[in-house]
Chain A
Amino acid sequence: DAGVTQSPTHLIKTRGQQVTLRCSSQSGHNTVSWYQQVLGQGPQFIFQYYEKEERGRGNFPDRFSARQFPNYSSELNVNALLLGDSALYLCASSSEGQGLKEQYFGPGTRLTVT
């Protein structure tokens, strides 16, 4: 099992463009969460999906959207990129009922908006 993987590793986009980030969850996990981490800050919760349904949403604008696929992988989409969207985007997978403990994070995607 490769654990949680994310692609791409790095990405450079221009203001106004759209971006799609991908996450493959760990085998056996049915819950995926997305976080944004700006330099010097802790990760900020964006979305959580459980069994392909959105279960939670953080305080992010509608430019951010996500979905989970039948194989439990997930995509995060960001439209109309702003300079402030530059950050490390982290995906974490877990199993239902594991709560805080068993959240396994991927290495992240470093997004730079110019």
Chain B
Amino acid sequence: LAKTTQPISMDSYEGQEVNITCSHNNIATNDYITWYQQFPSQGPRFIIQGYKTKVTNEVASLFIPADRKSSTLSLPRVSLSDTAVYYCLVGDRQAGTALIFGKGTTLSVSS
């Protein structure tokens, strides 16, 4: 079973910042939080991963509070091409295990 809870869908306009929050109340001490993006009829693609506080890369930021029971993916200035399904996953970084996906959040960006 997925260990995360996300909103089913979100709407936004081009140029806005989008924040998608994921709940993971039962996260283990050694679990990392990872986000994937999936476009229709394509395989998921890694976006960002973090363990605590804040992580930033060229496409997104990930905010993780001290209790680690939730995390927020932040997409700055979204464009139409950011319309996709976003998945939050948790798991042991060292395990090399399979990914357990939930239903994800469908983000729709309009002009």
Contacts and interface: CB of A to CB of B under 8 A. Distances in A.
B45 interface: yes
B76 to A, nearest CB: 21
Nearest to B33: A100
Interface residues of B, number: 27
Contacts of A96: 96
Contacts, number: 78
A45 B98 contact: yes
A35 B87 CA distance: 15
Interface string B71-94: 000000000000001010101111
Contacts of B42: 105, 107-108
Interface residues of A, number: 33
A105 B96 contact: no
Given A33-B99, A45-B99, A100 B45 contact: no
27 contacts: A35-B101, A42-B101, A43-B44, A44-B101, A48-B97, A48-B98, A50-B96, A56-B97, A56-B98, A92-B43, A97-B96, A99-B92, A99-B93, A99-B97, A100-B49, A100-B93, A100-B97, A101-B34, A101-B46, A101-B93, A103-B46, A105-B44, A106-B43, A107-B41, A107-B42, A107-B43, A110-B41
Nearest to B44: A105
Interface of B: 2, 32, 34, 41-46, 49, 85, 87, 89, 91-104
